[in-house]
Amino acid sequence: MAQSKRQMVNRQVNKGYVDLDDITLRDLKADVEAWISEYGEDARLKEYTDGYDDTRSWGIYKLLPETDEEYAARLAVEKQREDWEMKEFQRLSKKYGDAK
Domain residue limits, the chain: 8-64, 66-100
HSE-CB of 9 using CA atoms within 13 angstroms: 13
Q: Is the pLDDT of residue 1 over 70?
A: no
- Per-residue pLDDT, 99: 59
Coil vs helix vs strand at 63: strand
Q: Which of 13 and 1 is assigned the larger pLDDT?
A: 13
Whether pTM exceeds 0.75: no
| Residue 4 confidence (pLDDT) | 77
